[in-house]
Structure 1
Amino acid sequence: MSNENQTIHEFDLNIIHDYFRNTERQGPGSPEITLKALSFIDGLTPKSKIADIGCGTGGQTMVLAENSASEIIGVDLSPDFLRQFNQNIQNHNLQGRVKGVIGDMKNLPFQEEELDLIWSEGAIYNIGFERGLNEWRKFLKKGGYIAVTENTWFTEERPTEIEDFWHEAYPEIDTISNKVAQMEKAGYLPIATFVVPESCWTYYYEVQHPQMQESLLEKYKGNKSAEDFIAYQRYEAELFNKYKAYYGYVFYIGKRIK
C-alpha cells in the first residue's frame, strides 16, 4: 500500500468528515454496548450533566439520552457532524435536554467540576488516552465518572505487521492492564473494563461499503488525499480481518477519586 506510513491524522479532515457524516457511528460500537457501559454508572439524575466528547453524529449520544434523564452536551470539531447530530435530536424529540456544540477536546467549554459524566466512544485517541484522562478530570465532580473506548492490545506479543501498523497509527495503543494502570495514575478508581465485540468492528467496516467509497472518490476525483484515505480505510479493514485476535476496542469506566 502506497500510504502505509501515513496515519489517520495526516489526511484532510474535511474529507474524513465528509466520508463519515452520514454514518450512525464514526467508530465501532452499538446501542447494546453503550447501554452496557451506562449500566456501570451510578447516581445520574435529571440534574446531572453529561458531556459526550467527540460525539460525531451522535449515535451513542441518542442512546444515552433515551436511557437517562440527564442534560447532555455533545462536543465535536466538525460542523458537518453536528448538523446531523442536531437533526438526530429533533428526530428523537430530545430538544431542550440534548445539544451539540462545536468544540475542541483539547480546550473543552466546561467549568471545573461541572460534569457528572464524561463519555467518549472512539474519540479519545485524538488527544491520547493518558492526556484525555488527565486533562478532562478537572471537569468532573468528585465521584463523577468517565467512560471511554480505546484501541487496545489483547496479547503481549503480536505479529510484526499489525504491531507496526498500530504503533504508527496510534503509538499509545497498549494492553488492558497498562491502560487500567494509567487510569489509576490519572486519579480514577477503575470501575469496569470490557471488550467491545468483534461484531461491532465487522459492522463498522461493512457500513463503509464499496459504493460509499466509490462515491467519495468520484466526488474528489483526482484528489490524492481522498484516494490515499480510502486506500488507508481498506487496508485497515483488511488488517482487522487478519489480526482481530490481537487487538480491538475496550470500554474503560472510571470514577474520579481525587
Structure 2
Amino acid sequence: MTELELLLDFHIEGKRQGPGNTEDTIKALSFMELNEDENLKVADIGCGTGAQTITLAKNIKGEITAVDLFTEFLNELNSRAEELGLAHKINTLKKSMDDLPFGREEFDIIWSEGAVYIMGFEAGIKYWKEFLKTGGYLAVSEITWLTNSRPVAIEEHWNSEYPEIDTASSKIKILEKNGFSPVGYFCLPESSWIDSYYKPMEERFDNFLKKHNYSAAAGQLIEKEKEEIRLYKKYKNYLSYGFYIAKKIR
C-alpha cells in the first residue's frame, strides 16, 4: 500500500480525522443568527467521515452537501447517516475543495473543521466565499498560535508543516480583509484533542500494526502519529485549533 492508502486505512476507523467534538460544532453554530423556519443550504468542505456533518444535520433544518476527496470517507458518512435516519438531509460529493461545482451564492453556511489548511486559510476563504450568500456564515477551524512567542522547537515544527499558522488576531484580519465580519471565535479545549481524537487513535495503534503485518511503512505511520501526540502534550499551551465564525458582508 502507498503511504496515502495506509493513512486512509488508519483514519477511516476513526470517528474524527482531527481534533474536535460535538460540543465544539454546536458552540460554533450558536454564534449564527439563523431563521429556524428556513430550510438552509450548507456545504461541509473536507468533511472526512462526517462527525460534524452528522451534528449539523441533527441541529439545523435544511440540507447539507458534504464534500471530500476520498470515497472511503464519504461511504462511511453515508452509512452512518443511513443508520441515524439522516440520509435525507445529507448529500455527499467526491470533489477536491479547490475545484467545486457550486453556483454563485448557493449556500447559507459554509463549514469546514480542520481542513482549510489543505488549501491554506486565505486561499480557502477567498475561493469558498463566492459560493456563500451575502449575509451567510462561514465557520472554519484552523491550527492557531495561542501566544505571540513560543519555544523554538514547536515554532520550527509548525512553520515547516504549515507556514500559514498564525495567531487568531492575524486570521481575523484576513477574514475582515476578504469581506467577512467576524461574529465569534474560540479555541478548542484540551479534551477536544486528547479525549475526542488522540485517545481513540492510540487505541487503534496495535490492531493497525497487526492488520498490516507490522510492516515498516505501517510502523513509520504510527511513529509519526505518536510524535504528533507527544508534541501536542508538550506544547499544548502554545497552540490549538481556533474556530472562526464570520458573516459575509460583501
For normalisation by structure 1, the TM-score amounts to 0.91
Matched position secondary structure for 1:106: coil
2:213 and 2:132 mapped to 1: Cα distance? 45
Matched position secondary structure for 2:61: coil
RMSD: 1.5
Aligned twin of 1:241: 233
Letter in 2 for 1:149: S
**Cα distance, 1:224–1:112 mapped onto 2, change above 3 Å:** farther
2:123 and 2:217 mapped to 1: Cα distance? 29
Letter in 2 for 1:37: A
Q: Is the 8 A contact 1:52 1:118 kept in 2?
A: yes
**Residue 223 (structure 1) shift:** 4.8
Aligned twin of 1:24: 15
**Residue number among 59, 79, 91 corresponding to 1:87 in the alignment:** 79
Overall identity of the aligned pairs, in %:
44
1:226 correspondence with 2:218: yes
For normalisation by structure 2, the TM-score amounts to 0.94
**Residue 54 (structure 1) shift:** 0.7
1:223 and 1:63 mapped to 2: Cα distance? 36
Letter in 1 for 2:206: E
1:106 and 1:15 mapped to 2: Cα distance? 24
Matched position secondary structure for 2:87: coil
1:130 correspondence with 2:122: yes
Q: Is the 8 A contact 2:68 2:93 kept in 1?
A: yes
Letter in 2 for 1:13: L
Q: Which runs of 5+ in 2 are unaligned?
A: none
Q: Is the 8 A contact 2:78 2:92 kept in 1?
A: yes
2:73 and 2:6 mapped to 1: Cα distance? 12
Q: Is the 8 A contact 1:46 1:71 kept in 2?
A: no
Q: Is the 8 A contact 1:49 1:114 kept in 2?
A: yes
Aligned twin of 2:200: 207
Letter in 1 for 2:33: D
Deviations 1:172-224 (A, max 9, x none): 10011001001111211111110111111112111112x51233233334754
**Residue number among 35, 39, 53 corresponding to 2:30 in the alignment:** 39
Q: Which runs of 5+ in 1 are unaligned?
A: 1-10
1:173 and 1:224 mapped to 2: Cα distance? 31
Deviations 1:51-71 (A, max 9, x none): 000111111111111111111
